[in-house]
Amino acid sequence: MLTELVKALRQQEIKQRYRESELLGNIAALSDAETAEAAAELYAAEKHAYSFDGYLYQLEKLQTVMAAGIPAETAMELVDSCLPTELILSTYTKWHRLGGCNE
């Protein structure tokens, strides 16, 4: 029974690490490797009160925000604010449309 539990935990860790690699690769493709490394450092679970799944959630959120065209540095600041993704996207889009962005 304990062996099965350990095996299940290892499989979960492998899946999580694969997802992490996938997300960081996507973030690097949207910007660059330095941005992916900075995101991994900024959102590292060891530095926050969330689990590794929380870290993956932050990376997923960053990927979504950057894929919407928000520049990497701004996207990382917005994701770090803990605002919902939908609010970030709608507010940034409106602000950008009104000329509030000089990027």
Residue 102 within any structural domain of the chain? no
8 Å CB contact between 63 and 31: no
Closest CA to 72 of 59, 84, 82: 59
- Structural domain boundaries, residue 46: 2-97
Please state, in angstroms and rounded to a whole number, the distance separating the CA atoms of residues 38 and 77.
12
Residue 20 in domain: yes
Which pTM does this prediction carry?
A: 0.86
Instruction: Write out the chain's pLDDT in tens, 103 residues.
Output: 889 989 999 999 999 999 999 999 999 999 999 999 999 999 998 888 889 999 999 999 999 999 999 999 999 999 999 899 999 999 998 887 777 655 4
SS3 44: coil
Total domains present in the chain: 1
Residue 101's pLDDT is 56
State residue 49's pLDDT score: 86
Distance CA 29, CA 34 (A): 11
Q: Which pLDDT value is given to residue 17?
A: 95
Q: Is residue 55 part of a domain?
A: yes
Q: Give domain status of residue 26, yes or no.
A: yes
| Residue entry with tokens 């690769």 | 25
